[in-house]
Amino acid sequence: MAFSRNILVSVVISYVTVASAFSNLPFALRSVSSQSRLAPLASEVARGPEEYSRRHKEFSELEPLPQNEIRRRRMEIDNEKRSQFVTFGDELWDLRSEMERLSSYLVDAMTQGKESEERKTRNKLREVEQKDPELVYMLEKVACRDALAENRMEDAALHQERATVARSCLPQFNLEGLWVGKYGTHGYELINVTYVDDTLIAEKVTGDRNVPRGELTFKVDLDPLKIFKTAAGGTQHKSGKGFDFSGEQAKLDPIKLTDKAARRWGTSQLPRYSGLGQVAEEGFKNSQMMDGQLIIIGQEYFSFAWLPIEQQIFFGRPSPELILKMLRDSGIGPLRSRSFDEPPSLNDDVDILKSFAARCMEVTQEYEDDLSIMDSPTLSCIWHDSSEECYFE
């Protein structure tokens, strides 16, 4: 019995030793999501921080490749074309307020028969409208479609080029790539955003028990022709699994922020768009799409809300280290040890002590992961409603 107890003690001591060694490693190397990885990581620790530093110095002097003249010139031309549009934020909202004012004044001038005022106001309104990238994108898409229908290919190409430039200035069309958000009790998950024409597609890169990786998490039809058409005439357009992009659902008023929140985010309003979010029971059973909303906070953040279940998830850009860690852990299948109401005693079975030690390290790792992700003050405000700035309204 004494011999058996010595084995148990040595097992616990070995786990504690490895865990303490991990605490001295950089975050990118600290992971205890699989017992099979303890040996190589322990070997890394044995070689000391000098080895880790030496390996990273191999990449420290790498610099981006210089841009060739053709690429540099093309970027300058693209930036010059984009400069004709106002930027996302209060500059855009002020522009649209001016458009509303001019439209109202134009109606009055037409009603009163003031032809000179009408002509002047109409020209001014057209000039202002050319600075709104979303409106220009819609108008150029209409012009391109009409030119194609009339077989005017050169005109169609010109309108398509203008539409592309306007589209590149819209934050809702610049969300491609990886994002991280906290899916409730499932924890942080990676999603990948792509586009099919004007439809935003978000798929899970790391999943959970309900909606696994590789599956759709939400999608949003951002086609301005559909949105503006339904807003003006209430025409219905079916999209997805019976979802109705019509009238009130499709054209949503932006969320207006309090003064304090506006200072926090650098804008007084947040645009939003109707979409579809996927939910499922455990094991990806009975999956279904439900109404949702995409809320644009800028180039760096956005959120998606599943309306019927009142769940909203905020997304931010993950660091390269976090991406690698989440992909690595997801690829090997994270360790999920049994839960313990109270610590086992040394008289318990060796497997129970092993499971308890593994669970301790697992919980510690999850806590450290959360702290690492929450290092950004802005993200901590987004993901935790701990202060007034966190609230949109």
* Residue 219 backbone phi and psi in degrees, to 5: -145, 155
pLDDT at res. 107: 92
pLDDT at res. 270: 92
pLDDT at res. 98: 92
pLDDT at res. 65: 67
- Enumerate residue ranges in the chain where pLDDT < 70: 1-65, 228-250, 331-339, 365-393
Cα gap 74→198, rounded to integer Å: 24
pLDDT at res. 368: 65
Query: CA–CA distance from 191 to each of 129, 215, 217 (Å)?
Result: 35, 10, 8
pLDDT at res. 12: 37
What kind and span of H or E run contains 194? strand 188-196
In this prediction, what percent of the chain has a pLDDT beyond 90?
38
Residue 184 neighbours by CB distance under 10 Å? 9
pLDDT at res. 219: 96
User: Which residue segments constitute the domains of the chain, with CATH numbers given?
Assistant: 2-54+335-383 (no CATH), 91-167 (no CATH), 175-320 (2.40.128)
